[in-house]
A and B are shown apart, each in its own frame.
Chain A
């Protein structure tokens, strides 16, 4: 089959499973799922060649809602599963899905090292600035004054800046999207998946239940006024100084992905014991 025929062969619906999502009505993650299926169809990848890996949280429910292979692991460790899978199966397309609690708090250390390791996979974090599944506790991206039962009067803590951290840690592609713009998000995902190395896509995805104020995000977001840069210093300045609602591809690096050669045995198994022989 030629590439063109393959592309024609798939529609977004082909990537959707028959399982009904258990997200709240109005949750931004519905639109993220839509962006996923549109991006996969645009890429023309057979569903069985894609693996969606996740951790724990509302956003991490997404693998089973796709018709791809999926892995819904434990809290915060999805990047490890993704790396082990991609390094041993470079033929697969690996998309890791996470949220701001799963990805930036419990999984924070893995985020740094996944950026550094630069395995060719795409990391999508659905950021709603709250722990939704456990009913509204502050996450690393929650504003300091946001009042919750667990942090009466707010945490007083400075929010985490995931895009800057990704850049400093070596991510090879950095973008910000808004779930309410599924077509634009799908286009960015297509670029992210195609870009070699570790691609990081932060999707602002409102939690209408515990952060009804986030319904206003649709009025705050705006497309980045400039094209993506491959200059980390320029990207750092832009990301550090933007208002947090600047959408689009903000950095495209040129680092070579980490992909060791596997699969080719160069010695017979019986050779390995030779070093022990007296």
Chain B
């Protein structure tokens, strides 16, 4: 640890921090309007993603100026250097306020966490503050069109040219690349060694010559996912994160942070993130109410089931996070949380659909919230695919938590250029 604690720094206790946060939030942030009785609200608050990201940058800057940004980030890079308990207290207090949730994943909890681990002093000083001030949204350039789960089999190439690297290839499934500022990009720098040993992680500016971004329309109409095309994109050597050809180690930690964030276990997440299908605490109760089924034991059973799954999620996140922190479990246990959330979210989506009944099939503008239930069900599997599929999580749990035999592969210990692959 390089972190030093100066003499005059006294750590504020959690309750005092909570009280200060409560007062500050009430004074400075917009309180979300209470739900009108007998209604459910739509999950999306913004007409489009551009409005949302612009608003979230402003909100993040407000948090920063108010001294409540980067609660668990080290002080020397602009954070508060406080504990996970302080972060939890702030999140609890902030639930009823409009928060810049867009920054949580991947900017803080995945890219920020990885930068803290592998960045040089200069890289950390240059980039962490920008995140916390709301100036820079980050994304990951990992997956490629030729394969999602087999990340180490990626084909984007980076060739050294003096003090620069020249990248060619394509990335996909980056969320909101069009409004992001910086990215962590994994590329192949050596084709003569087995796949895991020839990768390098780069820090790159998203908008620059040589990068072309296409937006992808998803089934629910969302245009947030993107595909990028790199043509002779030039990146300075000083933007290599970690060591050349050692990018898999960086990626492994990045994926850990991703699983942890997607599973709800990250300490860098500030404010509540939206779980697909979960909604606010009483969302399903309202859905039962507006569907006129408060006296229907079937609907009440579904309501009880949904509540059980959500309460147990918080309990298992707490347990596994604690177990990883104390070393009782290794960090692959984050896959258990990723799997739980994926399975829970799909079930909650189905439960919502069953509660909404025929309202989810056709609706007026006035019951758009019930109509959303059907739309969200159509894209239900998002929660089991995005952030690493639940199948990969099951591989990780069985092989790396339970120690069961690894799957057979056709590319182990073979120079990557000889491995059979998709064109």
A and B found bound together:
no
The chain A residues found within 8 Å of chain B, CB to CB, are: none
The chain B residues found within 8 Å of chain A, CB to CB, are: none
